[in-house]
Structures are given as C-alpha cells and as structure tokens.
Amino acid sequence: MADILRAVKGMNDILPPSVPRSDRLPDSALWQWFETTVRSVLARYGYQNLITPVVEPTALFVRGLGEVTDIVEKEMYSFEDSMNGDRLTLRPEATAGIVRAMVEHNALYNGPLRIWLMGPMFRHEKPQKGRYRQFHQLDVEALGYAGPDVDAEMILMVRTLWRELGLVEGRHVRLELNSLGQPDERRAHREALVKHFEQHADALDEDSRRRLHSNPLRILDTKNPAMQAVVESAPKLIDLLGEASLAHFNAVRAVLDAAGLEYRINPRLVRGMDYYNLTVFEWVTDHLGSQGTVCGGGRYDGLIEQLGGKPAPAVGFGLGIERLLLLIQELGLPVPSGAPLAYAVIPSPALVPKAAVTLEALRAAGLSVLMHAGGGSMKSQFKRADASGARYALIFGEDEVARGEVALKDLRNAEAPQRSLPLTGAAAWAAELLNA
C-alpha cells in the first residue's frame, strides 16, 4: 500500500462536522455560519464583494507593504514563473491586491467604493494555535473616503459583527485605538525614536538593532519582554501630532463615544505594514494566549498612489477567520451544528419514489432533510438518524405510506408523541417544523 499523502504543514482541511478530528480546528458548519453572518452585516452597511487572485506580482507586496517588514523579509511564499520568469507571490495579505485591482480597473472613476473580500492568505511562519501557513482572512475596505466618519463607522460595523456572532465587546474582545498621523509627523517621530533607541542600544535585541535605522517604528511592536521598559519610555507619536491629525483622531473618538463604544488609546499600536496613516485600531482578546489580536486595520491614504493610481484616501481592516472561530470555540458560544432538521427513515426500497417526492416538497419549502440511503433495518436507520443530529425522524413505513401519511418522531424529546402527517401538501406542515 502506498504511503498516505498529507496536507502541507501549517495548511489544514476544513472538514464537515460529521467527520471526527483529533484537533479543535473549526468545522465547515461553523465556517458557513460565520460567512453567512458576515455577508448579512456587510450588506447592511452597503459593502460589495470583490474576488482577487491568490497569486500576485512579488513587486506588489514589496512596494505596498515595505521592504523591511517581517512579511516581505521572512514570510512570503515567492517563486519564479517557469513559463516566463516573472516573480510571483502567494498573497500574504489582501489590501495590496485589492488596491491593485482598483487601480488596474479604474474602479474609483465613478466615486468611492465600499468593498470586501474573503479568502486564503499565505505566510511561511511557525504554525501554532490560531496561526497557520495558509490562513483565511476577511478584508473590508472603504476606498475614496477621506473623513473620520467612515473610520468610525467601520469600527462600529465590526462591533455589529461581534454582536451577531455572540461576542461581547469589553468582555470577550476590546478595542485599542491610535493615530499614526501624517508622513511628516511620522518622520519627526522616527528621528526621535532613532535617537532614543541609540541611547539604549544595549537593551535592543538583534532584530531591533537591525531595524534601528531602516524601520524603527516596528521596534515598538516587539513582543520581547526584555525590551518593554525601553519601548515604554520611547517618544510617543501622539505627542507630535499636528492640529489636523489631532482633529481627525478626535472626530473618530467623538463618534465612538456617542455610540457608547469603550476603547483604550494605545500609543504603541503601530500595525505591521508601512502604508498606514492617521487612524489605526485593533480588536484584541485575552482568551487566546499570546495570539491576542483578532481584527485590525486603519487608514492608508497614500497606498493607492504608491501602487500607481491617482491619489485617493482609503481605510480598511483585516480579520483572521481561524483565530476568530477559535475564540468562539474557546468561549463556548452557541453556534449552529450544521445538522439537518429531519432525517428520512425508509425501510423498503419500494417506498423511495413516494418518499423522494415528499422530501423534495419539504426542501423546496426550506427544510433541510437528509434521506437515508443504502437500505438497512429500521434499527440501523434510527441509529443513523440520531447520529446525524437531526431533530426529527420522518418515517416512511409501508402502513403509513399506504394511508398517504408519514410518521414524525421527535428525536430530541422522548416525551413528545409520534404524529402522522399527510404526504400531500407537505409544504403546509413544513413551516410548522421550521418554526417549532
């Protein structure tokens, strides 16, 4: 027998709930529920779906993310196209590809756009709980909007998504907020950081010393506990913001305050990409260990021009789906099981035609019904019905069908009496089962 071929390390199968697995990765029913919820929430805010390729030119990410970011330096899956020698990369994040698509298709010609994308991303990093080499991300962008009102609305939209998923802000997740100002303010802050860290060079680790003159802002994002004291004492960008940047930040805060959304201003919040300016935010949790960020984003007004388009402002966020679903599981929140509402027990093959007609009518009325296939005894079929997680068994016995009926048994309530329902006009009683 040939050896079993297995998935690439750090890349996982998303299995249906009926397939047991040894790890706690979310099943496809949980994914579908999340995706349906996302589509509903984003539609209410006027966002449209966009789908882009998973493979992009490597130069897109080098130019868009920054040459000295961890993603570009260490984590990208890049390769040479054997057909023409082009340098290509599996997308490590979504924003650069979205902006590329908008520029290429002149998408902002008729005005601003609110769009979203959901799909796989790829980063070559050490796989661990909530962090994988192929991961999935929800990416939401508002392109062509300059005002703080859209920044604030986007943050409130995330709160709406949390509530739809059963997460409580302040208890399960909390908001952290900062402003990165404009390029000239960041340059002044950069100079102050370099001077500060040069004075404390002995306290820096190797990675921070390497970044000291190329990207000192990233040092603020270090997870090295030995460096926290020197990072905490570093100059804060918010103290160097000009009047316009402060006005933008305060306008965002005013909307959040009016909406009753609590947040913490975190002056060390810088995000991982070089393209951010003004508002940046993260939703974090204490329930996933060190992998605390579940959603983050901010404004990136210079990226569209940087990638060849006409200057236009933009703001957006990314949400790691695996990490969020893991959080929902860790908290034990109620989620759909993915089980059918009913399971059809058909003891005789001769009864399948009449049963199938009734089942099609029920499905057309909105019921999810799993039909037993392959024969077997009544006992074995009821065992399968129970294992399916269905609430009801629909029993197409010879006597019932001869009377033009089907028997209904509640599999989750042993006290409920078995009932008989007419085969014809099944849509009339389908609504009753759906709403029970």
Question: Nearest 5°: phi and psi at 49?
Answer: -85, 145
Residues found in the chain: 436
**Cβ(96)–Cβ(65) below 8 Å:** yes
Q: Tell me the three state secondary structure of residue 341.
A: coil
**Residues 295, 324: Cα–Cα separation, whole Å:** 8
Q: Where are the alpha helices (DSSP H) in 167-319?
A: 183-199, 206-211, 228-232, 243-258, 303-306
Q: Where are the alpha helices (DSSP H) in 243-300?
A: 243-258
Bridge pairing between strands 174-179 and 263-265: parallel
Regarding whether 122 and 79 lie in a shared domain, the answer is yes
* In-domain check, residue 312: yes
Backbone CA torsion sign across 161, 167, 168, 169 = negative
Residue 249 CA: distances (Å) to CA of 124, 321, 332: 35, 28, 36
* In-domain check, residue 23: no
- Domain finish residue from 300, 331, 362: 331
* In-domain check, residue 161: yes
Element containing residue 102 per DSSP (H, E): helix 95-104
Question: What pLDDT is stored for residue 72 in this prediction?
Answer: 84
Q: Indicate the number of domains in the chain.
A: 2
Regarding whether 247 and 266 lie in a shared domain, the answer is yes
* In-domain check, residue 187: no
Regarding whether 346 and 385 lie in a shared domain, the answer is yes
CATH number for the domain including 246? Answer: 3.30.930.10
Regarding whether 387 and 307 lie in a shared domain, the answer is no
* In-domain check, residue 97: yes
**Cβ(397)–Cβ(409) below 8 Å:** no
**Residues 162, 172: Cα–Cα separation, whole Å:** 9
Regarding whether 90 and 52 lie in a shared domain, the answer is yes
* In-domain check, residue 115: yes
Question: What pLDDT is stored for residue 22 in this prediction?
Answer: 77
Regarding whether 352 and 325 lie in a shared domain, the answer is no
Q: How far from chain centre, in Å, is Cα 99?
A: 19
**Residues 55, 37: Cα–Cα separation, whole Å:** 27
Regarding whether 408 and 323 lie in a shared domain, the answer is no
CATH number for the domain including 384? Answer: 3.40.50.800
Regarding whether 108 and 44 lie in a shared domain, the answer is yes
Kindly report the pTM of this predicted structure.
0.86
* In-domain check, residue 227: no
Regarding whether 145 and 76 lie in a shared domain, the answer is yes
Regarding whether 150 and 89 lie in a shared domain, the answer is yes
Angle CA(66)–CA(67)–CA(68) in degrees, nearest 5?
A: 95
- Domain finish residue from 299, 331, 363: 331
> In terms of residue numbers, what domain contains 403?
342-435
- What residues does 56 pair with on adjacent strands? 89
Contacts of 254 (CB under 8 A, 6+ apart): none
* In-domain check, residue 210: no
Regarding whether 132 and 103 lie in a shared domain, the answer is yes
Regarding whether 403 and 260 lie in a shared domain, the answer is no
Averaged pLDDT, groups of 10, the chain, 436 residues long: 87 88 85 96 97 94 78 88 92 92 93 96 86 93 96 97 95 95 87 88 85 80 84 87 95 97 90 81 89 90 90 95 93 89 94 92 93 90 92 94 94 91 87 84
Q: Tell me the three state secondary structure of residue 266.
A: coil
